[in-house]
Copies of this chain bind each other. A is one copy, B any other.
Amino acid sequence: MLFAKKRTKAFHSEMRALSGLLLEMGKLAESQVGRIAEALATPGQIARIEVERDAAIDSLQRAIDLRAVETIARCGPAHADLREVLSMLRIAGQFERIGDLAKNIGKRLLAMSRDNHLPSPAHGLNGLALAVLEQLQDVLDSLIHRDVAKAINVWTRDEDVDRLCAVLSRELMIRMAQDPRVITCGIHLLFCSKNLERMGDHATNIAEAVCYMIEGRRLDDRPKADVTSAVMT
């Protein structure tokens, strides 16, 4: 019994450390998306999204991976505890993907800043970035406060992000057909918009992991606006 108690104490201290690393990772991802929204809000002055920030996210993920494996091996957590460690591993993977996508958008914004032919629906991307930022902030909140209701709310709102992306894609394609000079930038914007939509998907995956971590239940059949076919209409 004493041994079990000791093990639980060691486990909880490990979990506190893991949570700290995970939140640090989440905050970095959030600030990356925030910087993208900022860069998009100041036309003509597109800032450089630091690639170093993504490196920091990657190294945090490696630290979490290592620590989680050690925690499982050393503490041998039982069902709910094990679920918690594995959920943290999964969430870290999602933050890493968000960081990667943000880095890619940063590169594209930089490439676009060298081009004078920016199609007008570029400002729509800012709205999409803000919507994704809000999703990310809310899902981080749900993680910090173990708030299942908030996580479910993020999960249901993913459809709105998908719809914003579809509208923007359609507008961009119309502009590109009208003026071939904007094709290069238009394609960068299409990929940026798709990347933001995927960031939204990752926020939704985190929301699912938060619910699973806390209540052990899975959210299935996520509402999804189909962007691929919407672009065709």
Contacts and interface: CB of A to CB of B under 8 A. Distances in A.
B190 A187 contact: yes
Interface stretch (A21-29, A145-153, A175-183): A175-183
Interface in A65-100: 69, 72-73, 76, 78-79, 82-83, 86, 89, 93
Interface stretch (A34-42, A104-112, A122-130, A131-139): A104-112
Contact of A173 (B111, B173, B184): B184
A232 interface: yes
A116 interface: no
Contacts of A177: 180, 183-184
- Copies, count: 2
A11 interface: no
Question: In terms of DSSP, what is the predominant structure of the interface of chain A?
Answer: helix
Contacts of A232: 111, 114, 184
Contacts of A226: 107
B183 A108 contact: no
Most buried by B among A104, A176, A228: A228
A111 B229 contact: yes
A52 to B, nearest CB: 16
A79 B86 contact: no
A108 B229 CA distance: 8
29 contacts: A69-B86, A72-B72, A73-B78, A73-B79, A73-B82, A76-B76, A93-B93, A107-B226, A107-B228, A107-B229, A108-B228, A111-B228, A111-B229, A111-B232, A173-B183, A173-B184, A173-B187, A176-B176, A176-B183, A177-B180, A177-B183, A180-B180, A183-B183, A184-B232, A187-B187, A187-B190, A187-B231, A190-B190, A191-B194
